Amino acid sequence: MLKKLTLWAGKTFDGLLKAAAEVIKDPIQRQKFFKYVLIHAVIIVTAAIFVYPLLRIFSVSLRPGDKLVSTDLSLIPDRATFAAYGSLLKDTMFLRWLWNSLIITLATSFIGVSLASTAAYAFSRFKFPGKKAGLILLLSSQMIPAGMLILPLFLMIMKLKLMNTYLGMIIAYSVSSLPFSIWILKGYYDTIPRSLEEAALVDGTSQVGAFWRIILPLSTPALSIAFLFNFTTAWNEYLVARVVLFSSQQYTWTLGLFELQGQYITQWGMFAAGSMLVTIPVLAVFLYSSKWLISGLTLGSVKG
Amino acid sequence: MEILKSIYEVAGFIVLIALGVGALEGYFYYHFKYWDRPWFFPAALAAFPAAAVVAASAITGSYAFSLWVYFLLAETAIAAAFRYAVKGRHTVPYLLLAPAFVGLALLLVYPFVFEVYLSFHDLKLNTIMMWKNTGTIPFAGLSQYVKVFTTSPLSEVTFWELLGRTLVWTFSNVFFHVLGGFALALLLNNSIRFKGVYRTFLVIPWAMPQVVAVLAMRGEFHSQYGFVNIVITKLLAVFPFLASLGVAPVQWLSDYPLLTCTIINIWLGIPFMMVVILGGLQSISSSYYDAADIDGASYFQKLRFITVPLIKPVLMPAVTLGTVWTFNNINVIYLVTGQAGGTEQADILVSALYKAAFTYNRYSYSAAFAIVVFALLFFISVTYLHGFDAAKEER
């Protein structure tokens, strides 16, 4: 095994040397080579700057309790330990916060996607008076500053006596990403050929039956993207939660982390550990779904 | 037990939503089915408002009469619309749309109208108990709007300062987002190795939960233990002559809060622009560049006359979206400066609005402020889109 590896390394090295010798001989090749190196160097430096804060959180989360504040820049600190993770799970209500977030987010996404899926179908397949007005309403609702609706929603929730409850949060979140979800789903339904439904209609299903049995199963990818979008929006939300929830029992993780990061520098380790635990799944989901999200973001505007 | 209880709560809520949607569908279906019967109007006007009053008094116990009046008016309008305008047509699309649009009406349109109502009244910490108990707020006329322009939403900063700061904030952020995104996209658009890996790394600031990203960056700007000042200190130790040029560790969060927020937000926003522009670059056919190469065009000529014009249709919507997002960005500024004793030197319009409402409890004032900000944003977007359309037609 080792022998094979050294052999392979030696071969690669030889190849590199030969390539380098050739490159240095030929001026055009040389220019290309420098350009190549330069591009890689610039990108690597930028990528390092972009990723560094994340790595720093990781390194802070590994620091032992007595060395939390230090001007040390190394990624894996001396005497690295997972103690911060342990005390985060034991001494704070972090799991409870995650659980609160999860419940609120799941209920919100479920409502959002189910409302959006039918509405998008109406926009995609039917001609009816008010269609254009409805689409314009959806688009223009994106222009309302998010901060603007927090106040009336807060007052409504207070009046309904839903402060500090899951239900209040779910109500506040449930339509926030509805316009965008409708927009994504409409775009996807538009790509499904009508002949499929027409065949089903000839065979005797109703229009709603065709939607339920044919369109919905076919559009699972778009539905899951809309679900993910709803999920990440509600999962990362901070400003509404700040005003609706006030007891730390009911906090979502965003509020909890903000509090940990607060005044006491001793809690940095726990803050960092919590950030890592939350960030990794979100990163995974985002990287998986980013391709569709971006096309959804730009699709509508390019067409219009 | 705790867990079981919350599962029960959420399951109950989802069932409630399903029942609500079902009831709503049935309610509209009734209109579609019986719109031409002679008893349609009397039945609709008697049955539904009565049901609404029963439901409302079960939930709140008061205002039954005023609710009955509102619902009667609404029901008359809805029934008349079905009878004389809809006439039983377009049943399926309207039934499909009903739940979503009722949701939007209750949680988007109604709050908006309520905000307008608030802005003409006087709801603050002193009057909120009265409003909670009786539902009435003292009328204030236009005085809240006058106050928006004459008094400070926080403790010192004025509306006009905030406006100027917002414009500078929006412009500088969007400018650097586009510049950085464009440069990175151009680099990534070469046929190089590890492109996918690089792209993944470069997207990370956007992909991280914003709360984590901003709070982490805030830590990096800490005057003593933050990365930025540590690096400055180390540089000074290696190159002492830098000190004579005025380079020194800085109290970022207290002395330059707006600059700090801007740097953080630029870091956060570049990946989005990069990805959008990269998508645009990849869709440009290489034959344009081949033709330009034959004509002997330089790199910058190609950039100027091929890339930029062809990237515009992708770039313009992204820039519009980015402008609106940046203008409305409360998160970054609030998370950096929002704690007790936080500065107000970094506040822009929307974050001042949020703080006026929830730190200073000036509800009606902040409602009026919000209406002014909305009008401003609306005006800017309409003129901008109008200019964009005009430019489109010229081409």
Phi and psi angles of residue B313, each rounded to the nearest 5 degrees, phi first = -60, -25
Contact A167/B13, CB-based, under 8 Å?
Answer: yes
For residue B163, name the pLDDT band (cuts at 50, 70, 90). very high
pLDDT tens for residues B346-356? 889 999 889 88
Give CATH 1.10.3720.10 domain extents, chain B: 151-361
On the question of pLDDT at A122 being above 90, the answer is yes
pLDDT of residue B392: 60
Q: Using alpha carbons, select from A283, A280, A259, A279 the residue that is nearest to residue A271.
A: A259
Q: Which of A39, A71, A151 lies closest to B366 in CB terms?
A: A151
Helix (H) or strand (E) holding A263: none
Does residue A133 sit at the B interface (CB-CB below 8 Å)? no
CA distances to A42, B80, B81, B211 from B77, rounded to whole Å, are 64, 5, 6, 45
pLDDT of residue A101: 92
Which of A151, A154, A182, A289 has the highest number of chain B CBs within 10 A, making it the mutation to test binding with B?
A151
Please tell me the distance from the alpha carbon of residue B259 to that of residue B280, in angstroms, as a whole number.
31
Count of C-beta atoms within a 10 Å radius of residue A171: 23
Contact A151/B367, CB-based, under 8 Å?
Answer: yes
Q: Would you tell me which CATH number, out of the four given (1.10.3720.10, 3.40.190.10, 1.20.1250.20, 3.40.50.300), belongs to the domain A87-303?
A: 1.10.3720.10
For residue B393, name the pLDDT band (cuts at 50, 70, 90). low
pLDDT of residue B181: 93
CB neighbour list of residue B344: distance below 8 Å, 6 or more residues apart: B154, B155, B156, B157, B337, B352, B355
pLDDT tens for residues A131-166? 988 888 887 787 777 778 899 999 988 888 888 988
For residue B129, name the pLDDT band (cuts at 50, 70, 90). confident
Q: Using alpha carbons, select from A230, A279, A70 the residue that is nearest to residue B214.
A: A279
Which residue in A has a C-alpha nearest to residue B337's C-alpha? Answer: A262
Q: What percent of chain B is modeled with pLDDT above 70?
A: 95
For residue A261, name the pLDDT band (cuts at 50, 70, 90). confident
CB neighbour list of residue A191: distance below 8 Å, 6 or more residues apart: none
Listed by number, the residues of chain A in 44-83 with a beta carbon closer than 8 Å to a beta carbon of chain B are 44, 46-47, 50-54, 56-57, 60, 69-71, 73
For residue B394, name the pLDDT band (cuts at 50, 70, 90). low
On the question of pLDDT at B55 being above 80, the answer is no
On the question of pLDDT at A301 being above 60, the answer is no
pLDDT tens for residues A170-216? 888 988 889 888 988 888 898 888 888 888 889 888 888 889 888 89
Listed by number, the residues of chain A in 144-173 with a beta carbon closer than 8 Å to a beta carbon of chain B are 144-156, 158-159, 166-167, 170-172
Cβ-contact A261, A275 below 8 angstroms: no
Does residue A207 sit at the B interface (CB-CB below 8 Å)? yes
State the average pLDDT over residues B201-206: 89
Please tell me the distance from the alpha carbon of residue A138 to that of residue A301, in angstroms, as a whole number.
13
Cβ-contact A226, A112 below 8 angstroms: yes
B121 forms beta bridges with B139
Which residue in B has a C-alpha nearest to residue A171's C-alpha? Answer: B107
State the average pLDDT over residues A207-229: 87
Helix (H, G, I), strand (E, B) or coil at B142: coil
Half-sphere exposure of A109 (CA within 13 A, CB side): 19
Structure tokens belonging to residue B98: 């009903």
Please tell me the distance from the alpha carbon of residue B363 to that of residue A158, in angstroms, as a whole number.
13
Listed by number, the residues of chain B in 255-284 with a beta carbon closer than 8 Å to a beta carbon of chain A are 267, 270-271, 275-276, 279
Listed by number, the residues of chain B in 285-304 with a beta carbon closer than 8 Å to a beta carbon of chain A are none
Helix (H) or strand (E) holding B379: helix B363-394
Contact A134/B97, CB-based, under 8 Å?
Answer: yes
Cβ-contact A96, B3 below 8 angstroms: no
Q: How many residues does chain B have?
A: 395
The highest-level CATH class for domain B151-361 is mainly alpha
Query: Which of A55-69, A87-101, B95-109, B148-162 has the lowest average pLDDT?
Result: A55-69
Cβ-contact B348, B169 below 8 angstroms: yes
Cβ-contact B351, B261 below 8 angstroms: no
Q: Where exactly are the structural domains of chain A? A: 2-81, 87-303
* Angle, CA B277 vertex, CA B274 and CA B282 arms, to 5°: 120
* Angle, CA B120 vertex, CA B124 and CA B145 arms, to 5°: 90
Please tell me the distance from the alpha carbon of residue B280 to that of residue B273, in angstroms, as a whole number.
11
Cβ-contact B122, B140 below 8 angstroms: yes
pLDDT of residue B389: 67
ipTM computed for the complex: 0.85
> What's the gap in Å between the CA of B328 and the closest CA on chain A?
6
pLDDT tens for residues B267-279? 999 998 998 888 8
Contact A122/B94, CB-based, under 8 Å?
Answer: yes
* Type of residue numbered B273: M
For residue B33, name the pLDDT band (cuts at 50, 70, 90). confident
Provide, as residue numbers in chain A, all residues whose Cβ is less than 8 Å from the Cβ of B372.
none
> What's the gap in Å between the CA of B37 and the closest CA on chain A?
23
Cβ-contact A164, A243 below 8 angstroms: no
State the average pLDDT over residues A71-85: 80
Structure tokens belonging to residue B299: 């790199």
On the question of pLDDT at A82 being above 60, the answer is yes
Please tell me the distance from the alpha carbon of residue B258 to that of residue B82, in angstroms, as a whole number.
55
Contacts across the A-B interface (CB distance below 8 Å): 266
Please tell me the distance from the alpha carbon of residue A61 to that of residue A56, in angstroms, as a whole number.
8
Q: What percent of chain B is modeled with pLDDT above 90?
A: 19
Does residue B90 sit at the A interface (CB-CB below 8 Å)? yes
> What's the gap in Å between the CA of A112 and the closest CA on chain B?
9
pLDDT of residue A197: 87
> What's the gap in Å between the CA of A94 and the closest CA on chain B?
15
Half-sphere exposure of B64 (CA within 13 A, CB side): 11
Does residue B115 sit at the A interface (CB-CB below 8 Å)? yes
Helix (H, G, I), strand (E, B) or coil at B137: coil
